[in-house]
């Protein structure tokens, strides 16, 4: 029987591929993004704003959501290239990155708790980053800080909602083979490398979703070889 998954960041990158996968495997996907999602039911919302977060919560308030898949994320302009310079990154950019990568996951999770609890085995899975670990920081200060913050937020959500039956997990990958990353490698914006296959990331998500509600996978780190 198909499940209902709320995929945040469903118009591009990891989120788009995850949405396509679950639609193709017979599940219902509600895809949240500012621009049209390429698979599933599109819920237009900007998670960097309180209004966008509230729209998401209100739009699914009567639903049973089996999993929140927070696949969205953002970073500074020019991030992860030699062109990036922290002194040129304005306050508004820092604020936007923190809003999308840390604040929105917290507030959306809080707002969806009732709909998640209607599921027999609810999960909340978030995409973090290896830069969110001690001694893993990069020069992209806002993005690094937001990923540290996301890990801490999910750890705290797990404590705050203990007894609610929801499994909380963070997946921390290196560069994943999205169309955008592959283009960056081919163009030379990123160094030559072998990114993590999308199929491996999706299989990791599937594995977490299929575990019983008696098991909590705190974090999974996926590193490039």
> How do residues 104-117 score in pLDDT, each as one tens digit?
999 999 999 999 99
The per-residue pLDDT for range 46-88, each reduced to its tens digit, is 999 999 999 999 999 999 999 999 998 988 787 777 788 888 8
Distances (CA, A) of 84 to 80, 87, 93, 105: 7, 9, 13, 26
**Sheet hosting strand 28-33, strand order edge to edge:** 41-44, 28-33, 4-8, 67-70, 123-127, 167-173, 219-222
**What is the rounded distance in angstroms from the CA atom of residue 111 to the CA atom of residue 170?**
19
**What is the rounded distance in angstroms from the CA atom of residue 85 to the CA atom of residue 79?**
9
Distances (CA, A) of 175 to 84, 88, 181, 198: 17, 24, 7, 10
Please tell me whether residue 53 adopts helix, strand or coil conformation: helix
**What is the rounded distance in angstroms from the CA atom of residue 54 to the CA atom of residue 153?**
19
pLDDT band, very low/low/confident/very high, at 184 (cuts 50, 70, 90) = confident
Q: Which two tokens stand for residue 139?
A: 């020069």
Under a CB-based contact definition with an 8 Å cutoff, are residues 202 and 18 in contact?
Answer: yes
Q: 4-222 has which CATH code?
A: 3.40.50.720
Please tell me whether residue 56 adopts helix, strand or coil conformation: helix
**What is the rounded distance in angstroms from the CA atom of residue 45 to the CA atom of residue 54?**
9
The per-residue pLDDT for range 99-150, each reduced to its tens digit, is 999 999 999 999 999 999 999 999 999 999 998 888 888 888 889 999 999 9
Characterize 136-157 residue by residue with b for buried, 16 or more Cβ atoms within 10 angstroms of its Cβ, and e for exposed.
ebeebebbbbbbbbbbebbeeb
Q: Could you tell me the pTM of the whole model? A: 0.94
Evaluate if residue 1 carries a pLDDT over 80.
no
């Amino acid at each position: 029987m198909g499940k209902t998954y709320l995929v945040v960041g469903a118009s591009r990158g990891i989120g788009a591929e995850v949405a396509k996968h679950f639609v193709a495997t017979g599940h219902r996907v509600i895809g949240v993004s500012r621009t049209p999602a390429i698979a599933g039911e599109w819920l237009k919302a900007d998670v960097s704003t309180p209004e966008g977060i509230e729209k998401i919560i209100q739009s699914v308030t009567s639903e049973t959501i089996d999993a929140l898949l927070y696949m969205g994320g953002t970073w500074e302009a020019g991030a992860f290239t030699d062109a990036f310079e922290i002194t040129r990154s304005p306050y508004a950019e820092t604020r936007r990155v923190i809003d999308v990568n840390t604040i929105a996951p917290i507030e959306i999770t809080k707002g969806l708790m009732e709909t998640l609890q209607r599921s027999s085995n609810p999960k909340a899975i978030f995409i973090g980053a290896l830069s969110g670990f001690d001694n893993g920081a990069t020069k992209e200060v806002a993005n690094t800080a937001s990923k540290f913050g996301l890990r801490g937020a999910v750890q705290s959500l797990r404590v705050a909602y203990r007894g609610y039956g929801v499994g909380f997990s963070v997946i921390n990958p290196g560069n994943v083979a999205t169309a955008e990353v592959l283009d960056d490698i081919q163009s030379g914006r990123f160094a030559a490398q072998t990114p993590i296959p999308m199929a491996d990331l999706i299989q990791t998500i599937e594995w977490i979703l299929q575990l019983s509600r008696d098991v909590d996978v705190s974090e999974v780190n996926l590193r490039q070889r």
